[in-house]
Structures are given as C-alpha cells and as structure tokens.
Chains A and B, each alone.
Chain A
Amino acid sequence: MTSIAENISESYYENGQHKFLLNMGPQHPSTHGVLRLVLEMDGEYVTKIDPVIGYGHRMHEKIGEIRPAQSFLPNTARMDYVCALPYNHGYVSLLEQAAGIEVPRRAEFIRVITVELNRLASHLLWLGTFLLDLGAFTPILYCFDDREQVLDLLESLTGSRLTYSFHRVGGVYSDIDDKFIEGCHEFIKRLEKRFITYDRLVTGNIIFRKRSEGVGVLTPDAARRFGVTGPNMRGSGIDYDVRKAFPYSVYPEIDFDVPVGKNGDCLDRYDVRIEEMKQSIRILKQAVEMIPEGDIKSKVPKKLKLPKGHTSFSVEAARGELCYYMVSDGSDVPYRLKVRVPSYANLSSVAEICEGMLLADLVAVMGSFDLVIPEIDR
C-alpha cells in the first residue's frame, strides 16, 4: 500500500477475492479527531489497516526546545486536551526532578485531587462517546451532564475548563477552599448514584454485550510488543499502573486498587475503565480528608537551572503512561524534549489486532481504545 491516495475506490482481484480500498476519515465521526484510516476491504471484512496521522501536528517538541523550560507549560495541556492535568503534572515533576526543587505536601495533594477529577472527566467523555459509537444515544447525555459538574468544579479552581495550566514548578497556582471540598463531596455522592444508573442502562444490555464481547482481543503479548499502556493494557490482564509501579507524588500514601481484565476484549476495557472511575473516587475521598495545611508553592528562581545530563519522568495519564524525556546542556532551555504519549503506541497496535474483522467491529475497537488524536500528532 504505497500509493494509497491514487488507488482509493478502485477495486481489484487478489487470490480470488474481490478487494477494494476504503477511506475512513479524517472527518469520520467515529475516529474521534482528524485520524484517517485507509482500509483494504474484502466485502465487509477489513483485511489491512493503514492509519494516516499527522493532520493536527504542531511540533510541540520543537517549541519546547526554543524557549525557557517554564514557558512550555501551557503547551502540555494542548496535547491531550481531554485529560490535560496529568500532562501538567508530569512536566512540572520532570523539571522539579532535574532542578532539585522540593514541593510542599499540600500542593502535592491538590495536584492529586485535580488530576483524579480530570481523569473522571476524561473517562466520562469516553463512556459517552464509546457507547455512541455502538449506537446508543442516551448515555452520552447522562455522561456529559456528570462531566459538566467536574468541569465546573475545576473551573472554580483553575479558571479554565479544558486546557489547564494549573500546576506550577514548585507547587500549584491557587489554593483550594472549603467550598471546593464541599463541591467535591457533593459530586462524589452524585456520581456514586449515577454508577448504578450506568450499570442498569448499559452493562447488561444485550446489544452492547454482543458488540463488545470477544471483539478486538488484545493479547498480553501484543500489548507488550507494541508498548500499549493504560486501561487498554490492564484489560489484557497486565497490572501495570505507573502510580503503583513507579510511585510518584503522594500516591504511595493513598490506598487504591489497579483493576485488571481477563480476555482483553472491548468488554474488558469497558469494565476496567468503569472500575477505574470508582478507584478515582476512592482516591479523591482519601485525598480530601488527608490534605494538610501549609504552603502551596515553594520558592523557585525565575530562571530555572537545569543541570547537564538527561532525565525522564512518567505519570499515569487517562490513556496510559505519559513520559517526558529531557536532555539539558546546563542552560534554562531544554536541549531536547521528547513526549512519549500513550495513544501513539495504542493506535499502532490497532492495525494488527483489527485484521480480518468486520468494519462495524473496527468502530467498536477504536471507541474502546479511547484515542485522542491531537495527542498522537503533537
């Protein structure tokens, strides 16, 4: 499939099969962003997939290399805009690790609270859109209603609703107050009731089960070879969560489980994400209780001194492991900044696991993978 563009809509015979190329995207609603898939079809079955990416490419890595390290912070939120706060968290933690800056405990707790709220918002968006891909229109209305509550809460604290740049090197931008904590409690209470609704509405639904059970199986071996991380990998039974495996921030003090699936199909990925939302609530409940009094930001020089050498820092974003890798030459501008985004590896595995399946099932798998395309393009 070298000259894909010219062959589109031409059909040909191969080994007695009538094959043709089909273009899906970049404006197809179920690709969730500007992703184009060139599919080689045999009737209704997909025989080969070639993802074409790069439509939303903005070269964030280059921008990170031409200006002082701290001014790259707003850019981190523009990669995965659905779950932007882990990106903030990872980047400031990287700089703190390199420059040797201590963070007050209160600030760490505020970081964890905001990140988990953002993770809930991201998973709620996924739940709505995944089920919409499968043909269920109602759940998205419920999910957006819940997500709205999270965004309102975060807006009251950070001032923005989508592309946050709230975490700062050495702390956070603003302190939380009693009103915010009260809002958290109210939201938790509300969402716990909603989980029962979602369960009754979706989990036992016969159409949903038929469309997701046994579809798009990601084997543990394939997950390892492709470097798939996050809920997609945990759905295949590997319990890898950066929050547990490489503990950072105050996660080691908080009690939570890492849910894993068994078969690695769409249903398992659904179960893992639903369970992960419940675990996020568990983390939130504890963090809100444990938060100590104190400063929210330590003293940081205006011009950061990044020592010579290279370093990396990983955090668990909503879609998997997010890793920043920085090479520094001793100035305050990074010499090289690499962002390892989770969806990149996740999408590269789709071509293998979707071979030979129905076109309608491909849509289900893409939905269950929870891809954010601008994050892949960077």
Chain B
Amino acid sequence: MDKNKLKTEINKIASQSHEQDFFSGVDLDFIVPKENLRRFAEILYDNYFMLNFITAVHTSPESVVVYQFMYPSESFRVRGRVFTGTESSVKTVSDIFSGAHWYEREVMEFFGIDFEDNPDKRTLILADFDKDLHPLLKKGGKLKSAEDTGLKEEASKPGEEE
C-alpha cells in the first residue's frame, strides 16, 4: 500500500483534520463531506482496509458519524467524520463493508440517525417497542456543539474563510 498515494487520493474528496494537542489514535483523520462518503469507503475498500467500527456523536446542531478503518498487515489506521446535516441521515456503506450493517443498525436505534438504503432497519440491541427511544442522545444542557468537543474546527475570524 502506498500511503502517500492514498492520502492524496482521499484529499481530493475530503479535507484533512487539523492536528490536536494529543495523539488521536489514527494516522490519518478526515472530515468527509456527506456526498463523498461512499466514495471514501470505496477507496478504502479497494486499498484492502478493514472496517474497525462505526459510531456517532450527538452534537448540536448536527450529529457526527465516525468511521474508523485499519490496514491489517501494516500499522495504519484511517478515521473519517461525516456531519449528518439537519435531516440526520447519511448514505449506507453496508454494501461495501458487510460488517457496517450491524454498526449502522446500532447507530440508527441509539441516535435516531437514518442510513439511506440500508436494507434492514429493524432494531438490533434494543427491543422493538423501544424503537424511538434513542438512549444516547444528549438532553438539555448536556448537549454541546461540535466545536466544543473538538470534532469541528472552530470558525476562524470572518473574512479569513475561503
């Protein structure tokens, strides 16, 4: 695997995250635009990556879905973050990585985030009647913005942005 080639390939569709002041646990960390998520997963699949996990973080105003991948025979990990937008839905990657299926079902019931085109939207861990419970959503003052949790770069001064 050519790490630099992979990096430039992903950089075309996603922006690399800024460095934080402690080790993030991965070698490459990306913020992936919602529409490029499937392309991001396909690139990693073609480069023989494995899915590590999918999870979500509830932040205001939009939640974040986190995808982590690893490369088995070399020490290399990649993480991608996708902001779900106000409609709280992203595209499924379960047809690319079969293991994503269960993780998506889990995120669906715990966070109420919809995965478009996922063929099986039954609850996985919770019971059927708790379908709309979404236990991992933060309530009241506990809910923080993505900037507060370091998942989104704090907006720079007006005028400096592209």
Contacts and interface: CB of A to CB of B under 8 A. Distances in A.
For the residues of A in contact with B, the DSSP-based class is: mixed
B151 A327 contact: yes
Contact of B102 (A228, A246, A329, A348): A348
B75 A310 contact: no
B158 interface: no
For the side of the interface on A, what is the size category? 35 or more
B48 A344 contact: no
Contacts, number: 133
Interface of B: 20-26, 48, 50-53, 55, 57-58, 66, 68, 70, 72-75, 77, 79, 97-99, 101-102, 122-127, 135-136, 144, 148-151
A227 B144 contact: no
A335 B73 CA distance: 32
B25 A54 contact: no
Q: Which of B23, B57, B125, B126 lies at the interface centre, i.e. has the most chain A CB atoms within 10 A of its CB? A: B125
A225 B52 CA distance: 10
A377 B74 contact: no
Contact of A311 (B25, B122, B135): B25
B48 A338 contact: no
B31 to A, nearest CB: 12
Contacts of A53: 124-125
A59 interface: yes
Contacts of A62: 135-136
Given A238-B73, A323-B52, A340-B53, A313 B25 contact: yes
A57 B125 contact: yes
A100 interface: yes
A321 interface: yes
Contact of A57 (B102, B126, B136): B126
B78 to A, nearest CB: 12
Contact of B149 (A233, A240, A308): A308
Q: Which of B122, B124, B135 lies at the interface centre, i.e. has the most chain A CB atoms within 10 A of its CB? A: B124
Nearest to B25: A312
A262 interface: no
B50 A54 contact: no
